[in-house]
Amino acid sequence: MNSTTRESGRGRWVAPLLVVIVGAVAYANSLYGPFILDDFISILKNPQVRSLVPYKFPETEPTAISGRPALIFTFAVNYLLAFDQVEQYHATNLVTHLLAALLLYAVLRRTLTRTWPRTWLAAAAAAIWAGHPLNTEAVTYIVQRSESLASLFIVATIYCLIRLASASRGRRWWGVGAVVACALAMGSKEIATAAPVLALLYDRTFLAGSFASALKQRWKIYVAMAATWCLILLSLCTGRRGAMVGFQLGVSPLDYFRTELNVIALYLRLAFWPDKLVFDYYDWPIARQWLDVSWQGWLVLGVAALSLAAIWIKPWLGFLGAWFFLILAPTSSFLPIIHEAAAEQRMYLPLAAVVTLVVVCGWMVLSRWRWTRWTAAGAACAIVVCLCRLTMIRNSEYSTEIGIWLNTTGKRPGNTRAHINLGHAYAQISIQFPRGSPQATAAARQAAMQFQIVLDQEPQDAPAIFALGESLDRLGEPLAAEDLYARELAIHPELAAEFYVERGSLRVRRFDWPGARADFEAAVAAQPQDPEPHYYLAMLDAEQKDWTGERTELERTVKLAPHYRDAAQRLAALAQQTPSSK
């Protein structure tokens, strides 16, 4: 029995088990983090996840899971089994990540040359990737399961292709598996558009030896894989995802391309030194001219060109470069994505190419030393331990909404979206305590501070104006909130109805009935088709025991909005009352 066989026997079960243990330990403290940002609208408030049949219920607005049926199905399963039990959603994300790490190990083990300790090199690369903190956003942020799920199926596509090429029997089923995995990847996220190309490139580089030979042997498989691109086109044409991406967003393709050169340079730095991870890059600057591209961005462009050349000069190196850039391409090339020029979850699968390159090159260097195996093992263990510790620290920052938003605003103080979400997190705390209590006052004060920061940077931000007004009211300063609405009304006449409704509500709470009525009537005049002012007028009439006026306003509310449940129920209750009871 030669050394390679002995190594394979010892590592057959131990190596993949170690990969799973590393991933599980690194993300064990991610299971109880709350829903954040897009989780609410994409999962808890999304009608599409309320059935195991994708698209049974139409979505009301674009979400982070729009047009991704395989992803929607996984969230539908979570929703039906757990509804809002956040730990089950996190557990599904973690299982997806661990399965992706196992498949990555399997692919690497079958790819590395037999003259190397391929079991342990594959395990080292997979373990480093599984425990890397740059993957936290794709694993710990629930809605970003799209990234890990699509990556899982992309790696599964390549694994099935490897087994197809080496199988003596059951080849048909491995081919079917490759196509099905590719289709599921397409139904998870648009990064899967790279899957057929990567599969063909892998075949040419490691299996067939040439493109002609790969196509000759497995052309049917590649035709079927290419056909799965239709799923992406169908989703873009029939779903709402087109509202979130495209050239109509005020950013040209060239501007976005220049911007992404700087972004990818950041990704690469974080891959090697993940010291300042950021949850939200809302304020990432757009590179409007070539002078805005950093020297690191130009270096990225050079690496991309070298990767293209390496496909013919050094095929295995070219494949790793293609793995990196092709998977990033759908989200990091020419097609602008609204408010998300940079996002760390996009490095989830591209990071595997970087890690593999470092591990392989590290072995090539260390193999010249006398104590190669022990030195390599020690280095790998030290790297894994350090990365896992950093991942656990990063996961702890996701443990509360306030924690992750404080972390984001601390690293990117110009990020107004982070400030407004931090303000809302404080506002949610303030309403959990009695009005006027020390806890409610302290939280409301923090919320008002965050909303004011947003208005200082973006004076036209209407949601921040309304949120600041609510916070001032919680602080016991309703007159200050009314003055705020009066000032902003002159600046934002298009929002007159909303300002009148908010100010009228404030006046109701301090029993200024004439002032409240004047505001609600002004809201009706500003926006006659809005049912909300009519409903508030009805409640005002009910408070003043004007049953006829209440009935009239409720009827107007229901006429404008037949599904306005509160108005319909109140109207039905009025209809059942006797004249004497009124």
Structural domains of the chain, count: 1
Instruction: pLDDT band for 240, please (50, 70, 90 cuts).
Output: low
| Distance, first Cα to last Cα, the chain | 96
The pLDDT of residue 2 is above 50: no
479, part of any domain: no
The pLDDT of residue 550 is above 60: yes
3-state secondary structure string across 74-134: HHHHHHHHHCCCHHHHHHHHHHHHHHHHHHHHHHHHHHCCCCCCHHHHHHHHHHHHHHCHH
pLDDT at position 19 is 94
3-state secondary structure string across 353-372: HHHHHHHHHHHHHHCCCCCH
- Predicted TM-score (pTM) of the model is 0.87
The more confidently predicted of residues 373 and 85 is 85
What's the token pair of residue 68?
Answer: 């991704």
175, part of any domain: yes
198, part of any domain: yes
422 to each of 211, 453, 456, how far by Cα in Å?
52, 11, 16
Instruction: pLDDT band for 241, please (50, 70, 90 cuts).
Output: low
Instruction: pLDDT band for 92, please (50, 70, 90 cuts).
Output: very high
Instruction: pLDDT band for 206, please (50, 70, 90 cuts).
Output: very high
213, part of any domain: yes
Instruction: pLDDT band for 233, please (50, 70, 90 cuts).
Output: confident
Please give the Cα distance from 378 to 384 (Å, whole number). 10
State mean pLDDT over 94-108.
Answer: 96
Share of the chain above pLDDT 70, in %: 93
- Which amino acid does the sequence have at 545? K
The pLDDT of residue 5 is above 70: no
Three-class SS state of 453: helix
pLDDT at position 49 is 86
- Cβ neighbors of 106 (< 8 A, separation 6 or more) are 16, 122, 159
Angle at 375 between CA 374 and CA 379, to 5 degrees: 115
CB 20 within 8 A of CB 83: no
pLDDT at position 160 is 95
pLDDT at position 1 is 32
* Enclosing domain of residue 64: 3-397
Averaged confidence pLDDT in the chain:
86
The pLDDT of residue 6 is above 50: no
| Residue whose C-alpha is closest to residue 75's, from 59, 493, 532 | 59
262, part of any domain: yes
418, part of any domain: no
pLDDT at position 371 is 65
Please give the Cα distance from 314 to 484 (Å, whole number). 65
528, part of any domain: no
68, part of any domain: yes
pLDDT at position 533 is 81
What's the token pair of residue 249?
Answer: 């967003």
Three-class SS state of 330: coil
State mean pLDDT over 308-325.
Answer: 93
Instruction: pLDDT band for 10, please (50, 70, 90 cuts).
Output: low
The pLDDT of residue 580 is above 70: no
- When computed from its CA atoms, the radius of gyration of the chain, rounded to whole angstroms, is 28
CB 187 within 8 A of CB 70: yes
pLDDT digits (tens, 9 = 90+) for 460-494: 788 888 888 888 888 888 888 878 888 877 777 77
